Amino acid sequence: MFEPIEKRESLSGHVEAELTRAIRIGQYQPLQKIPTENELCSIFNVSRTVVREAIKGLNAKGIVDVKKGSGVYVSEMSIQNASETLNLFFGLSSNQDVLLHTIDSRAMIEPMIASKSAVIRKEKHMDLLQENMEKMRQCPLEDKKEEAELDNQFHRIILDCIDNPVLHMLIDPVFNLMPKFKLGVFGKTIAGNLEEEKEKMLYFHQMITDAIIGKHPLRAESFMKEHLKVTRENYIKALRP
């Protein structure tokens, strides 16, 4: 069980950490009510203010749910909750290193997704990829917002070929970041020739699409790998003064 806290600094942080540990080891199960405010004050030998701050912190992290008039309950952890936390992290981040690491992470994962998709894709996925390619070709060069959304949609269609909720949880937040990322970085003129850059993107998207439709996993993997390599090079180029 818990032990009263003797230190007088960061008391709420200590209470929050102890409750988190108890939940992690299964002392309190999802949807189970944790001790009342008065009980926690007695357990930890702290004031109500300290307990309330600790609960506030747990609630902000999605670890517990506060139900007015009922009490505090352990949240029902789900893939959706975990994904939303990652979405928040990526959505608030503008660190250049994080964006670079994001591209590198995609380069390690997406080629394998493309390869797998080429094996198990269904008719609906082929139709969606071809429709996306047509919309991308028709998208006005100056409409970078629409282009970014279509680019993102292309990669999502390939991910959707694989019915794996955990994979979606890991990759979705990265994809959610991409339109903002592309507008902020690639929306700028790169080497003064946006038309050339779009042609490169269309080329890789078409090659990947053809490989997936034709059930050529190695080609899909290879073209995706090269596509993301060029994406990384463009990102570095765009950041140069």
What is the C-alpha to C-alpha distance for residues 59 and 32, in angstroms, rounded to an integer? 14
* DSSP one-letter string for 117-136: HHHH--HHHHHHHHHHHHHH
The predicted structure's pLDDT at residue 89:
55
* Interval 164-204: pLDDT, tens: 888 887 887 778 777 766 666 555 544 456 788 889 999 99
Confirm whether 16 is domain-assigned.
yes
Q: Supply angle C-alpha 182, 183, 189, rounded to 5.
A: 95
Can you tell me the distance from the alpha carbon of 123 to that of 111, in angstroms, rounded to the nearest whole number? 21
Q: Which residues contact 108 (CB under 8 A, 6 or more apart)?
A: none
Q: Where is the domain boundary, 20, 49, 74?
A: 74
The residue from 58, 74, 90 where one domain ends is 74
Residue 118 lies in a domain: yes
* 196 and 103 in a common domain: yes
Say whether both 68 and 89 belong to one domain.
Answer: no
Residue 2 lies in a domain: no
Predicted confidence (pLDDT) per residue in 7-56, tens digit: 444 899 999 999 988 888 889 988 899 999 999 999 999 999 999 999 99
Could you tell me if 129 and 157 are in contact, meaning their C-beta atoms sit under 8 angstroms apart? yes
Torsion angle of C-alpha atoms 121, 122, 127, 132, degrees rounded to 10: -30
| Closest C-alpha among 15, 99, 87 to residue 50 | 15
Q: What is the pLDDT of residue 191?
A: 46
Which residue range is the domain that position 103 belongs to?
81-239
- Region 139-164 average pLDDT: 91
Q: What is the band of 99 on the pLDDT scale with cuts at 50, 70, 90?
A: confident
Is 218 found in the same domain as 173?
yes
Q: In terms of domains, do 61 and 132 share one?
A: no
Same domain? 35 vs 147: no
Angle (nearest 5°) at CA 134 between 235 and 146? 50
Q: Indicate if 136 and 184 belong to the same structural domain.
A: yes
- Residue that is written with structure tokens 């080429």 in the block: 118
Co-location of 53 and 141 in the same domain:
no
Residue 134, in any domain of the structure: yes
Do 185 and 223 lie in one domain? The reply is: yes
Q: Residue 230 domain-assigned?
A: yes
Give me the CATH number covering residue 174: 1.20.120.530
Dihedral over alpha carbons 219, 116, 105, 223 (to 10 degrees): 10
pLDDT per position as a tens digit, 56-97:
999 888 889 999 889 999 987 655 555 555 555 555 555 567
Alpha helices in the chain (DSSP H): 11-24, 37-44, 48-60, 79-92, 96-120, 123-138, 144-160, 165-181, 194-213, 217-239
Number of domains in the chain: 2
Asked whether the whole model's pTM tops 0.75, one would answer no
